[in-house]
Chains A and B, each alone.
Chain A
Amino acid sequence: MTRSSDTHGSPRNDGNQHNGSSHDRGNAGDSLRALLAPTIDTRGNLREIILIPLAAVFMALLIGALIMMATSVEPHIILRSFVAMADGSVGSLNAISETLTASIPLVLAGLGIGLAFRAGLFNIGAEGQMVVGGLMAAVVSFSVTGLPMALHLPLVLVSGLLVGGLYAAIAGFLRAATGAHEVISTIMLNLISIRLLDYLLRQPFIQKEGRSDPISKAVLETAELPRLLSFIDPNLRLHFGLFLMLGAVILIYWLLYRSKLGFAFRISGENPDAARYAGIRAGLTIVIAMAIAGGLAGLAGAAQVTGVLGRATPGFTAGIGFDAIAVALLGRSHPVGILLAGVLFGALEAGGRQMQVDAGVSIDMISIIQALIIIFVAAPLLVKRIMPFLFADRPKEDADHG
């Protein structure tokens, strides 16, 4: 073991240390767990938890600027685009409303992915679970009529949650029953859900009357998530989903750290052998963890349909399910971390839209920046090598580690 692992406690080094002690254990599994470790054990590396994401964001923005330069965007436009990004994300009440609105589905789906991570499962299928959950919510929202809002809206949200959960439970069941890896099955379920959506949106009971393109009927007023700030300005889009999001953060925190089930999740993820000896039913734990993860993604889809879009269209999830993976990684699978990461990504989305309008730089730049942030957060050794001065305690040991 290198010296730095004991003193510095970086997540990567923890992973190696762990690996040394249990030889036949999967190192990748360990490194995944180690990636998430700092949220469990925060002694001594609080500084890194804060510094690495900050450095990652900074470097990602810098490389983003370099890419803009490489595509012959003029320097003053680059400057203007960063100003627009800040302006569009936190510069006004409307900007903050947009940021929070964009972060709601990211946090909800991200919580599910983070929870699955904790249980040692890699749920790449949030996108598909959002699709089926959102579509189900849309169907219930316009086909059930005559209910008061107090009944209709919860019914819509719960149906989205249930369908998303069931869809994810397929992958969980296959993993538990046959060992089919959830990464492959959730990728396939994603691709299936896209086709299913395209097909169902053309069916007469879903398709909007008089339209030939695939688009669903509009969500009824009693199923719309109410807007929170319409008393100030009716154009502010922030909706009741904000409370769903905050409630989910608290609930998942409680579930993970204060409940028996959450203990089962965490111990299954960290040490499957110990889980088995403790009498935890591994198969059932996998299915339940996937179902909850899918339920949260389904809820994210439902919130998006009933709070923002008002209908389901092809590709209405807009890749949020994939961005949520990044959010879960950035938040290190901790509910509070995911909340912060989700708001950051929401800010980038909202800022990116402003950037496109003000500076004429394509919003796809935001995806690049998001991906770069995750690369740097996932590779703390890389960050330390590029910016040794930030971690000045023992820069030399870090530098010669790789």
Chain B
Amino acid sequence: MADQTQMDPARLAASQPVANVTDWRRIISGFTLVMLAAIVLFLLDAPWDSVSTFRISRPRDTWAVGNLVVPSQLINTLAAIILAFLGTRLFLRGGGRWTGLSLGVGLIILAMAFLVWATAGKAISLTGMLQATVVRAVPIALAALGGILCERVAVINIAIEGMLLAGAFAGALFGSLMGGWAGIICAMLTGGVFGLLLAVLVITYRVDQIIAGVVINLFVLGLTSYVSSQVFAEFRWLNKATPFRAFKIPVLGDIPLIGPVLFNQNLFVYGALIMVTLSTYYLFYTRMGLRARAVGEHPRAADTLGIDVIKTRYAHVIAAGMVAGFGGAWFTLGSVGRFDENMTFGRGFIGLAAMIFGRWHPLGALAAALVFGFADSLQQKLSILNTPIPSEFLSMAPYIATIVVVAGLVGRARPPAAIGKAYTKD
């Protein structure tokens, strides 16, 4: 137990707790759920006779499906009851794996209740909303994937934000010069270069990993802002790339709801889905992936077995940079084709949060990214729906949820054991 109570500054999220943790975790989670129940019951109330209409098909779809119509108040009362039940249960018995599960279910129910309430007496396109969700989840999922590749070999990657920004910048610049595909490749290379810089700093020169990450973020922010105000302001044609358009995959794209959401998107959505699938396969079903995870869990043992720890770490950190660079290109080549100062605006950090939510697993991170993407697209829709809740509060919601989940899930969500530690072979 001696090492259970010590503090290790570089341990993200699963730093060892000090006080009587299970109780606090249970109490905080239970309290949060009961509060959410109260919010749903008292703040998100609609008249009993109002209905929420969700449109699924659009006029020109091949196969049309009717609208989904639900009674608003009934659904939300049910949601409040479930939330209250989950919260009370945590208070009274709780603990164990119920904490995380209840919180997850609770957050999803909250999102549903919110959506039903916001559309009470109105209609909203569910398909359009989910489509936006997927699009907005892309950079978050890719940032999370970059984080996972690094942390699985025990390198903390706070620099993911800077890598996204660098990718966005390179995408706009080289996309304007040489076209979209070259833009993507250069964005990935640029991300890789910053991955290399991080690797050199933390692996070879053993700079503290969080410090190196923070500094790379500052550096990229400074560099991209400098070039954008020094060069782009004067030569606008350097910052005018043609973004990638959505293209429909035949047949699959015609399925109601799923088609437009998954199979009528741009390159970045498909790319992200492929990368998540590939890296899941790589990490958990190949020998190389097993070795990489060994380096993250117990580098000395891996070294003894003949795995080159240093090389493995370099390769993964650079690969993580390339993934993040691709994710960064989404901001420019995947939307408007123009770079603005600090345009990633903390998405890299949200990606790190998604990584923790997803427990360092690519699929889990993708699911978490979709939740964040949903909150993002909900915020967009709010102005259309004209709800009394200010959009600032909704945009805070993912961050508050992250804090609650990190506080509630710690102990369940464990990072690789060697995280944050430099490796010296002596």
* A interface with B by C-beta (< 8 Å): 1-2, 12, 15-16, 19-20, 24-29, 31-32, 35, 67, 71-73, 120-122, 124, 174-181, 183-185, 187-189, 191-192, 195-196, 198-199, 268-269, 272-273, 276, 282-283, 286, 322-323, 325-326, 329, 361-362, 364-372, 374-375, 378-379, 381-382, 402
Contact = CB atoms under 8 A, between A and B. Distances in A.
B251 interface: no
A1 B390 CA distance: 59
A195 B345 CA distance: 12
B19 A191 contact: no
Interface of B: 2-3, 5-19, 21, 24-25, 28, 156, 158, 201, 204-212, 214-216, 218-219, 221-223, 225-227, 229-231, 346, 349, 352-353, 356, 390, 392-393, 395-396, 399-400, 402-403, 406-408, 410-411, 420-424, 426
Contact of B406 (A121, A185, A192, A381): A185
A323 B353 CA distance: 23
Nearest to A121: B9
Contacts of A24: 3
Given A181-B406, A183-B158, A28 B10 contact: yes
A348 B21 CA distance: 45
B352 A32 contact: no
A365 B7 CA distance: 37
B205 A370 contact: no
A192 B225 contact: no
A29 B214 contact: no
A199 B17 CA distance: 34
A322 B214 CA distance: 9
A20 B300 CA distance: 13
Contacts of A381: 205-206
Contact of A188 (B28, B399, B411): B399
- Interface residues of chain B: helix, strand, loop or mixed (majority): helix
A382 to B, nearest CB: 5
B411 A179 contact: yes
A181 B226 contact: no
6 contacts: A174-B406, A176-B18, A177-B19, A184-B356, A196-B396, A286-B7
B215 A374 contact: yes
Given A27-B421, A32-B10, A191-B399, A178 B205 contact: no
A368 B226 contact: yes
A120 B13 contact: no
Contacts of A67: 223, 226
A367 B222 contact: yes
B5 A326 contact: no
B407 A178 contact: yes
B393 A282 contact: no
A185 B3 CA distance: 23
A369 B219 CA distance: 8
B149 to A, nearest CB: 18
Contacts of B19: 176-177, 283
B406 to A, nearest CB: 4
